[in-house]
Structure 1
Amino acid sequence: MTRRTLGDVPPGCRERLLAHYGPSVEEWMDAAPGLLAEAASRWNLSLMSYHDAGHASAVALAMAPDGSRLVLKAWVEPIRYRHETAALRVWAGGPTANVVHAADDLSVAALELVGGQPGGDERPVRETQAVAAAVHRLHILGRRTPEPGVPSLAGFLHEVVLPRVHHRMGILDLDSHEGLAREVRHELADLSEVPARTTVLHADLYEENVIFDVERRPRLIDPHPVEGDAVFDWAFWSVYYDLERGMADRLATAARISRIPVPEITPWCRALALDGLLYYTEIGDPARPKIAAVLSSLMTCGAGRYR
């Protein structure tokens, strides 16, 4: 029997996946509608429409027989599917989107729809404090199950981040930021984790990955999970949640909620900002001046105080 599909993935999804994976993803994009349709059929769901979002997956909205709606997500990479669903199960019942169904052979999962609509509900006024509390809660849940099936932060840093930083530093022209970049690069070897803070990390805390439910509570979605020191998430959130504003407030809030002193968080902030500066320089991203300004401001952070 031929299952009803939603047709080709949306143009925005196609563009983002091609940018992320290159031409080799074309074959998967052609197969994605069928993968979603197969998963919907298994779980007795009715496909409704695509949700044009994400850089590593195709996302659709589906309806269950009782009228409730779910998000169907098909991942390009089976390993990323396994890591993300493993982390979501560790965090089950916490401030994220719960896994309702999963098909390992398809790399497709049905997830809770947050806020009654794709993208969630409206953001609250006290957003910074609410998100910080959610990150802290996620870290508490992440400590309850050892070996959850996600890679280590140490491996990610030493096998991915540091090699690409050193490679890009050798080939890119950073103009006036060259001296700053070299100064931060020298700090990278001194980064060290505190084992007592090990947990399952979200590791992708951009603003777009934090949505809100109908009670204005944050849900942290689309993780790129690793297991390691909680300081990484706090640094990532401080730097990347909003490149234009609020970093000082986020950094202070991170230190207060996590009880990790600012001088321990800021070297990780600088490392992440350097990685971003090099990436944005390489691809000619218009966000390059913003991350350069963030990195420059982080060099004034010390002695437990952000100036």
Structure 2
Amino acid sequence: MAASPLGCVLPGARERLLAHYGPSASEWLDAAPSLLATVAERWKLALRSYHDAGHSSVVAVALDRQDTPVLLKAWFDPTRYRDEITALGVWAGGPTADVIETADDLSIAAMELVGGRPGGTARPEREVQMVAAVIHGLHTVGRKQARTMLPRLDDFLQRTMLPRIVDRTVKLDLGTRGWLVREALPEAHALRPSSARTTVLHADLYRENVIFDQRGLARLIDPHPMVGDAAYDWAFWTVHYDLGQATFQRMAIASRISGISVPELSAWCRAIALDGLLYYTEIGDPAEESAAEVLATLMAVGAEGAGSR
């Protein structure tokens, strides 16, 4: 493999990937600089710097032969690489980052650098409304290719999300929040995805995964894609886009644009907020407090009250 001018992976990126994947990622992280150098040589790119972001990949900025900056993204998990590239192919030409080159043998892609710099340009005033419109557009395209070979939401719910909720409920010391978790748990188990809303989901709609280009248009990046009910994306965005802030504003916008009723959408929100609370509790993240407040408010307001907020 080629020697890298970038040096070792940044400490922050290394820590995040080790926390996400465990010690098995250590050897790959040591090799990542050489892997990036190999594709840079293959694609005639000049490596410039790392970009310290993400929990599943190592990211670097490079220049092509026209001195245009591009983003290089190297995934530790080949399956995560294939899924993301597949989804970006479904959405090609839409409000995502364009894929320029792929190296399936190394699980690395060269991608458009949205906004000409890592993190994109400044966020506009009507950010929330613009992002909601983009999510709706992504779902519209995704419905036409819902047979794409990606993980299924139904499987994720039954094999991953619900089992981990139960496991964490049992093993964690929830203290005074135990009642809240017990109240929310039955409804999470009662979720039933609608096949009528099946589309390709982004499934990771944190605010950091929405950036803006030079025209001020929203682009959705770093999906963790699945195929399933659009309600999952809308609820995830409602809860996690700006945790603890303007939750019911986003819910109202999501309901209006998607056509999903507030009572149905709020049920998905409660399940996702529950999953988030237990995750933050397990890792000792300060976001635990906000997640608990969001879940408590969702539970207290209930399906009828949410629509009036």
Q: TM-score, normalised by structure 1?
A: 0.97
Retained in 2: the 8 A contact 1:5–1:36? no
- Are the structure 2 counterparts of residues 70 and 24 from structure 1 closer, same or farther at C-alpha, using a change threshold of 3 Å? same
Partner residue of 1:69? 69
When structure 1 is superposed on structure 2, of 139-148 and 89-98 the one drifting more is 139-148
Residues 235-291 of structure 1: per-residue CA shift (max 9 Å, x gap): 000000011311111000000111111111111100011111111111111111100
- Matching residue of 1:195: 195
Q: Which residue of 2 aligns with 1:168?
A: 168
Q: Which amino acid aligns with 1:109?
A: A
In the alignment, the residues of structure 1 paired with residue 188 and residue 127 of structure 2 have an alpha-carbon distance, to the nearest angstrom, of: 31
Q: Offset at 1:23?
A: 1.8
Segments of structure 2 that go 5 or more residues without pairing to the other structure are: none
CA contact (8 A) 1:74 1:109 kept: yes
Aligned to 2:281: 281
Q: How does 1:1-307 map to 2 (within 5 A)?
A: 2-299=2-299, 300-303=301-304, 305-307=307-309
Q: 2:119, 2:211 within 8 Å by CA — same for their partners in 1?
A: yes
Q: 2: distance between equivalents of 1:40 and 1:256?
A: 45
Distance 2:71 2:2 in 1: 22
| Aligned equivalents of 1:190, 1:256: Cα separation in 2 | 24
Between the aligned residues of both structures, percent identity stands at 58
Q: Which amino acid in structure 1 is aligned with residue 154 of structure 2?
A: A
CA distance in 2, matches of 1:193, 1:279: 22
Cα distance in structure 2, aligned partners of 1:25 and 1:13: 11
Q: CA deviation at 1:4?
A: 4.0
Shift of 1:3: 4.5
Q: 1:119 to 1:187 in 2, by over 3 A?
A: same
Equivalent position amino acid for 2:216 in 1: R
Residues 102, 108 of structure 1: 8 Å contact kept: yes
Q: Decide whether the 8 Å contact of 2:74 with 2:108 is kept in 1.
A: yes
1:301 alignment partner AA: G
Taking the aligned partners of 2:260 and 2:207, their CA distance within structure 1 comes to 22
Aligned partners of 1:33, 1:144: CA distance in 2, in Å?
A: 38
Q: Counterpart of 2:78 in structure 1: which amino acid?
A: P
Q: What whole-Å deviation, never above 9, does each CA across 1:146-187 have from its counterpart, x for those lacking one? A: 432210000111110011011111111212211111111111
Which one-letter code corresponds to 1:163 in the other structure? P
What SS does the aligned partner of 2:303 have? coil
CA distance in 1, matches of 2:60, 2:273: 33
Measured on the aligned residues, the alpha-carbon RMSD in Å equals 1.2
Q: Structure 1: which amino acid aligns with 2:199?
A: T
- Structure 1 alignment gaps of length 5 or more: none
Cα distance in 2 between the residues matched to 1:31 and 1:74: 11
Contact 1:277 1:291 in 2 (8 A): yes
| Aligned mates of 1:12, 1:254 — CA distance in 2 | 34
TM-score, normalising length: structure 2: 0.97
Q: CA deviation at 1:2?
A: 4.2
- The Cα shift of 1:306 comes to 4.5
Contact 1:50–1:60 (CA under 8 A) maintained in structure 2: yes
Q: Determine the C-alpha separation between the residues in 2 that align with 1:246 and 1:34.
A: 44
| Deviations 1:196-236 (CA, angstroms, capped at 9, x unpaired) | 11000000000000000011111010011000000000000
Conserved? CA contact 2:267–2:303, under 8 Å: no
Deviations 1:30-87 (A, max 9, x none): 1101111111111111111111111110000011111211100000100000000000
